[in-house]
A and B are shown apart, each in its own frame.
Chain A
Amino acid sequence: MNEDQILEQLTEIFHQVFDDDSIELTLGTTAADIPEWDSMNHISLIVLVQSHFKIKFQTSELEDLKNVGDFVTLIVRKLG
Chain B
Amino acid sequence: MMNDLSAALELAWLPYFPGWDERLVKIATAADSEAWHELVALANARIDYATTLRLDRTLRRRFSSVPGALTTRPLRLAILGSSTVEHLFPGIRTAALRRGLWVEIQTVEYGQYQQALLASSSSLHAFRPDVVLFIFDAPHLLGGGAVNLEAVCGRVRELWQQARAAFGCQVIQQTLLPTALALLGSNEHRLTTSALHLTKRFNEWLRTQSDVDGVDLLALDDRAAVDGLLSWHDPVMWLRAKQEVTPLAAPFYGELLARMLAAQQGRSFKCLVLDLDNTLWGGVIGDDGIEGIKLGQGSAVGEAHLAVQRYAMELSRRGIILAVCSKNDEEIALSAFEHHPEMLLRRSDIACFIANWEDKATNLRRIASSLNLGLDSLVLLDDSPFERSLVRGALPMVAVPELPEDPALYPRRLADAGYFETVSITDDDLLRSRQYQAGVERETMRTSAADLQSYLAGLQMELFWGNFNRIALQRIVQLINKTNQFNLTTRRYTAAEVQALMSDPLVFTLQLRLVDCYGDNGIISVIIGRLVGDVVELDTWLMSCRVLGRDVEKAALNIVVEQARQLGGKFLRGIYRPTEKNEIVRGHYAALGFHPDQTSTTDEYCWTLPLDGCVQHDICIKIQKIE
Interface positions of A (Cβ within 8 A of B): 13, 16-17, 19, 39-40, 43-44, 46-48, 50-51, 54-59, 62, 78
Contacts and interface: CB of A to CB of B under 8 A. Distances in A.
Nearest to A39: B241
Interface of B: 1-3, 8, 49-51, 53-54, 57-58, 61, 86-87, 236-237, 239-241, 243, 246-248
B247 A56 contact: no
20 contacts: A19-B53, A39-B241, A40-B86, A43-B237, A43-B240, A43-B247, A44-B87, A47-B237, A47-B246, A47-B248, A50-B2, A51-B49, A55-B2, A56-B1, A56-B3, A57-B236, A59-B236, A59-B239, A59-B240, A78-B1
Nearest to A41: B53
Given A17-B50, A48-B50, A62-B236, A43 B2 contact: no
Given A40-B87, A43-B247, A16 B240 contact: no
A46 B49 CA distance: 12
A37 B86 CA distance: 15
Given A43-B243, A55-B1, 5 more contacts: A16-B54, A19-B54, A44-B49, A56-B1, A56-B236
Majority-rule SS of B interface residues: helix
A50 B51 CA distance: 15
A62 B248 contact: no
A50 B248 CA distance: 10
A10 to B, nearest CB: 13
A12 B240 CA distance: 24
A77 B546 CA distance: 61
B50 A16 contact: yes
B163 to A, nearest CB: 25
A10 B86 CA distance: 24
A41 B68 CA distance: 30
A13 B155 CA distance: 43
A74 B86 CA distance: 27
Contact of A51 (B8, B239, B240): B8
Contact of B49 (A40, A48, A59, A62): A48
A72 B364 CA distance: 53
B2 A56 contact: yes
B4 to A, nearest CB: 9
A19 B236 contact: no
B1 to A, nearest CB: 6
Contact of B240 (A19, A54, A55, A62): A62
Contact of B248 (A16, A19, A39, A51): A51
B42 to A, nearest CB: 14
B132 to A, nearest CB: 22
B50 A19 contact: no
Contacts of A62: 236, 240
Contacts of A78: 1
A16 B247 contact: no
B1 A54 contact: yes
Contacts of A17: 50, 53
Nearest to A36: B57
- Of A16, A47, A54, A58, most buried by chain B (CB within 10 Å of CB) is A47
Contacts of A48: 49-50
Given A16-B53, A55-B2, A43 B58 contact: no
A78 B2 CA distance: 10
A48 B246 CA distance: 12
Given A16-B50, A17-B50, A58 B236 contact: yes
Contacts of B237: 43, 47
B253 to A, nearest CB: 14
B58 A47 contact: no
B324 to A, nearest CB: 41
Nearest to A43: B241
Contacts of A44: 49, 53, 87, 247
A54 B243 CA distance: 21
B564 to A, nearest CB: 69
Contacts of B3: 50, 56
B317 to A, nearest CB: 40
A13 B1 contact: no
A45 to B, nearest CB: 10
Contacts of A19: 53-54, 57-58, 61
Nearest to B54: A19
A60 B8 CA distance: 23
A9 B418 CA distance: 35
A17 B56 CA distance: 11
A44 to B, nearest CB: 6
Contacts of A40: 86-87
Contacts of B243: 43
B55 to A, nearest CB: 9
A59 B240 CA distance: 7
Contacts of B57: 19
Nearest to A17: B53
Nearest to B25: A21
A49 to B, nearest CB: 11
A55 B1 CA distance: 4
A62 B234 CA distance: 14
Contacts of A55: 1-2
A45 B86 CA distance: 15
Contact of B50 (A13, A39, A58): A13
Contacts of B239: 59
A53 to B, nearest CB: 9
A50 B6 CA distance: 12
A57 B57 CA distance: 27
A54 B58 CA distance: 27
Contacts of B246: 47
Contacts of B51: 16
A21 to B, nearest CB: 9
A47 B247 contact: yes
A56 B4 CA distance: 9
Contacts of A39: 241
